[in-house]
Amino acid sequence: MAPSSPTTIATDLDEAGLRAFGARLAALLRPGDAVLLSGDLGAGKTTLARAILVGLGHAGEVPSPTFTLVEPYAGRALRLPVVHADLYRLEPGAPVDDLGLDEALEAGVLLLEWPERLPAGTFPDALRLRLEGAGGPVRRLTWAVPAAWKGRWPPDA
């Protein structure tokens, strides 16, 4: 099923606001969830992914997966295993089967930056978040919510 139309959730999320939003979103995640993070360079995608990981219990570093493409996170401290992927270096529509993104959803969560590089129709049940305002102190966050998230969205403000 296609996601709903994007809706503005906030126009004033600074870095602290992104971290707080990520913590609230982390509490909603279930095994099999994909969260697709879009936005220009510097819009806050990795900041939000880090906040989600912290909200799930991760206490260590969270490097940007721009060069490794995929960073897995698992362990007793995490409420759910997570795969954090960044497709920035891939050409749009390039094959991604070898990255194991589907396998990440079997028992955990996928946080994916630059989803526009995926083939069309990939992860149709994903929560799609878009950040705008790169380089500025304030970000605008919009979302597209699939039916699979009905009753869980939006997170408490």
Question: What confidence tens digit (pLDDT) does each residue in 106-142 have?
Answer: 989 999 999 999 888 889 999 999 999 888 888 889 8
CATH number corresponding to 10-91+103-134: 3.40.50.300
Between 50 and 98, name the one with better pLDDT.
50
58 and 77 Cβ atoms separated by less than 8 Å: yes
Q: Give the per-residue pLDDT at 1.
A: 44
Mean pLDDT of the chain: 88
The predicted model gives 11-39 an average pLDDT of: 92
Task: Decide if pLDDT at 153 tops 80.
Answer: yes
The position carrying tokens 């699979």 is 148
Which range has the worst mean pLDDT, 46-50, 101-105, 119-123? 119-123
> Which residues, in sequence order, are CB contacts of 108 under 8 Å at separation 6+?
31, 74, 80, 81, 82, 83
The ranges assigned to domains in the chain are 10-91+103-134
> Which residues, in sequence order, are CB contacts of 54 under 8 Å at separation 6+?
19, 22, 23, 26, 62
DSSP annotation of 108 reads: S
112 and 37 Cβ atoms separated by less than 8 Å: yes
